[in-house]
């Protein structure tokens, strides 16, 4: 795998996430992901909210990536996934000059019983935004919900994509949806190795996990 240059947007993203403490390494005491897998690494993109200068740079990179990969006049609306995707969708919508809505994980169960909050016209070409993607499961649910509401969804964007579970991208691709991201764990590892943030044994543990996450999890770390 060819590692990106230090001035590549992916490496810049990884560097920012490391600087603000959003990227966590715990090889000796693995995290448990929502899938149940054990992982020596974890990323908390919600921390971006508290760092305005870092946030501004990341959202600039995000809009550049979206326009380069999805198109400059290909979107009518931005949709944030409940809850972590909502602030990112708002910042991106503001920069791109587009309307924003958000989609709930399930109907709220009272009032209009809506899943979509905001005004989403029929047929609106809509970008789904979340903070990160692991295996893509939540993205599929949100895409289905947006389409049921009449939106046309062909793209989803995340700040961080694990990049080690290809079945997630495949499931989205089978639904005609492209996944766009600023950085993956490979970018974070490249930045860690360049900066010497972890000792050699910890870096080797992380690399073994990234190369075979399911096997690593089943071994218990």
79 three-class SS: strand
Q: Residues 104, 82: contact at Cβ < 8 Å?
A: yes
One DSSP character per residue, 109-174 reads SSTT--SEES---TT-EEEEEEEEESSSHHHHHHHHHHHHTT-EEEEEEEEEE----HHHHHHHHH
| pLDDT tens-digit map of 139-198 | 999 999 999 999 999 999 999 999 998 888 899 999 999 999 999 999 999 999 998 888
pLDDT at 107: 80
The CATH number of the domain holding residue 132 is: 3.40.50.2020
What's the structural domain count of the chain?
Answer: 1
Domain that holds residue 74: 9-216
Query: Which of the four pLDDT bands, split at 50, 70 and 90, describes residue 1?
Result: very low
Instruction: Give the angle 81-85-91 at the CA atoms, nearest 5°.
Output: 125
Full DSSP string of 2-32: PPPPTTSHHHHHHHHHHHTT-EEE-TTS-EE
More confident residue, 137 or 90: 90
């Amino acid at each position: 795998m060819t590692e990106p240059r230090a001035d590549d947007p992916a490496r810049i993203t990884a560097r920012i996430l490391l600087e603000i403490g959003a990227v966590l390494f715990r090889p000796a005491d693995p995290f448990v992901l929502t899938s149940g897998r054990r992982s020596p690494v974890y990323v908390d993109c919600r921390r971006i909210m508290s760092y305005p200068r870092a946030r501004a740079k990341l959202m600039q990179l995000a809009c550049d990536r979206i326009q380069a990969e999805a198109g400059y006049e290909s979107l009518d609306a931005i949709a944030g996934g409940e809850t972590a995707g909502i602030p990112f969708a708002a910042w991106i919508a503001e920069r791109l000059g587009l309307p924003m809505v958000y989609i709930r994980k399930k109907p709220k169960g009272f009032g209009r019983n809506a899943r979509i909050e905001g005004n989403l016209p029929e047929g609106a070409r809509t970008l789904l935004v979340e903070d990160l993607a692991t295996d893509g499961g939540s993205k599929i649910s949100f895409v289905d919900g947006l389409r049921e509401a009449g939106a046309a969804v062909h793209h989803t964007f995340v700040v961080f994509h694990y990049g080690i579970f290809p079945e997630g991208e495949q499931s989205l691709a089978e639904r005609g949806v492209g996944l766009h991201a600023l950085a993956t764990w490979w970018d974070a590892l490249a930045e860690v190795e360049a900066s010497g943030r972890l000792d050699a044994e910890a870096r080797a543990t992380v690399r073994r996990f990234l190369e075979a996450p399911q096997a690593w999890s089943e071994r218990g770390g």
